[in-house]
Amino acid sequence: MKKQFFVFVLRWVLNSIGLWVAVRIFGTGYDNSELAAGMWVFLFAGLIFSIVNTILRPVVIILSLPAILLTLGLFTIIVNGFMVYISLILAPGLHMTFWNSVLTGIVLSLVNYIVSSALELQYARRREER
């Protein structure tokens, strides 16, 4: 249970950083006049994104399975963008177009892939030491 919570918190923080990077790259209507307030906005948006990914993404993947199979998996990019778009609608103070959300979804997918790979390597090392 501790490991799952640690992984969730790590993904939450890294998703927040990924959202910050994506907003800086792709631009939105975000006003970054105060850095401390901006940090909390992105942490809250990262939490919303993590919760939406945990709860809503599996349902959307199942419902869009025909399109995913038809496009040989490329439709998952649109699903990821949709998850980002929903998260940013729910997060106060952040605005992004759908297509920029798709690009942000690609950035966040890469971040999550790197985190997952690093955690798998760390887990494998600990298992070898035992």
Average pLDDT over residues 2-11: 81
Average pLDDT over residues 82-108: 88
For residue 9, give Cα distances in angstroms to 51, 56, 70, 78, 79. 11, 18, 35, 25, 23
Rounded Cα–Cα distance for residues 126 and 67 (Å):
40
Rounded Cα–Cα distance for residues 6 and 63 (Å):
30
- pTM for the structure as a whole: 0.80
pLDDT at res. 35 = 47
Rounded Cα–Cα distance for residues 112 and 110 (Å):
5
